[in-house]
A = this chain, B = another copy of it.
Amino acid sequence: MVYELYYWPTIQGRGEFVRLALEQAGVPYMDVARAPESSGGMPAMFRFLDGEEIVHPPFAPPFLKVGRRLIGQTANILQFIGARHNLAPAGEADRLWTNQLQLTVADFVQEVHDTHHPIASSLYYEDQKKEAKRRAEEFRRQRAPKFLGYFERILEAKSGSTLHLVGSRLTYADLSLFQVVSGMRYAYPKAAARLERRLPRVVALHDMVKTLPRIAAYLASDRRIDFNNDGIFRRYKELDG
């Protein structure tokens, strides 16, 4: 079965956490909204979001179509992929812990988004630039160090491999932390460089993921969309510092 991923076709965004997991799982998937309209495209995505007849409609992209099932919410999709494709631990306690870490990543991603859209997603950045500057400053000073320092502390407290967040094997949470580090480097190059001095383990984990053969191949391919200023991690000079 070919999985169908539905997400905005021109950005990494939240869909990228799913793309990374699918790539590492090595399963065939179609990035539907990126396909031409003859076989997909945005209309195909909106049919599931707006269709009155959909029983389990997702609130927003990304969502994954598996046979007739639709699975939405990034962390929820990752639970599904993790369990099926060996990117999550087998035991219930460790699975919940992996999910817990992923939800903390999700909270961080939301805060990153809100640095450039503190008032409303429906307004342009330019219409909330002043507020964005204030929020980004709080983010750089308080939130980013707190979140990233949390993951460093998790790795530090581990007795086994400090290159993995859970146990000694790769999970989707590792892939997600890689994405967060990559995004911070793109969006906040100055702040990220400063922060990373205190995050040796987080950086080592990022480097480990980057060189996984499947991930390296993906990153070098056309399937990986470049970071850009329509996504969640955006580079606005005035917000970095």
> Which A residues are within 8 Å of any B CB, using their own CB?
52-59, 69, 71-73, 75-76, 79-80, 93, 96-97, 99-100, 103-104, 107, 110, 114, 118-120, 122-123, 131, 134-135, 138, 142-143, 147, 150, 153-154, 157-158
Contacts and interface: CB of A to CB of B under 8 A. Distances in A.
B71 A100 contact: yes
B114 A96 contact: no
Nearest to A158: B55
Contact of A142 (B58, B97, B120, B143): B120
Given A58-B100, A100-B72, A114-B114, A138 B119 contact: yes
A17 to B, nearest CB: 13
Q: What 3 A-B pairs come out closest when comparing CB atoms?
A: A120-B138, A73-B103, A73-B100
12 contacts: A53-B157, A57-B157, A73-B103, A76-B99, A79-B99, A114-B114, A118-B118, A118-B131, A119-B138, A122-B138, A122-B142, A123-B138
Contacts of A103: 73, 75-76
Count of chain copies:
2
Contacts of A71: 96, 100
Contacts of A158: 55
Nearest to A157: B55
Given A56-B100, A119-B134, 4 more contacts: A57-B154, A58-B100, A119-B131, A122-B142
B114 A157 contact: no
Given A73-B103, A104-B73, A118 B96 contact: no
A59 B107 CA distance: 10
B131 A54 contact: no
B76 A96 contact: yes
Contacts of A107: 59, 110
A59 B104 contact: yes
A104 to B, nearest CB: 5
Most buried by B among A54, A59, A99, A142: A59
